[in-house]
Amino acid sequence: MDWLGAVVRFVVSAIVLLVVGFIVPGFQMIGFWNALLAALVIAALGWVIEATFGKSVSPYNRGLVGFLVSAIVIWATQFVVPGMQVGILGALLAAFIIGVIDLFVPTAVR
């Protein structure tokens, strides 16, 4: 049943990315499948950063460093996911909105 929870988290993360793409200027997401791919890439990049630098720079750590790392991860994801375009301001706003949404709908996948 653990794999089902992971699938649900990725689907919720993709939906959150689609909503953020609709709300945030400078953040464009095209299609559910690209949003799902973006959720996978964001999770992978977050895992690599956390494994390399520790939890203090993780998006899970809600300090300023964690917020900035989240924005950088979101911005860098555009280079892997086709149809995703993110400006620096869009990445900062998206990291903020995703953080707020995550307070109410925790996804554990970023």
Q: For residue 74, which of 32, 20, 6, 7 has the smallest C-alpha distance?
A: 20
Reported confidence tier of residue 109, pLDDT bands at 50, 70, 90: very low
47-62 pLDDT, tens digit per residue, is 888 778 776 655 555 5
Mean of pLDDT over the chain: 80
What is the structure's pLDDT at 110?
A: 45
66 near 60, Cβ under 8 Å? yes
Q: For residue 17, which of 79, 103, 107 has the smallest C-alpha distance?
A: 107
Query: What is residue 86's three-state secondary structure?
Result: strand
Cα 86 to Cα 74: distance, rounded to the nearest angstrom:
8
Check: pTM over 0.85? Answer yes or no: no
Cα 79 to Cα 53: distance, rounded to the nearest angstrom:
22
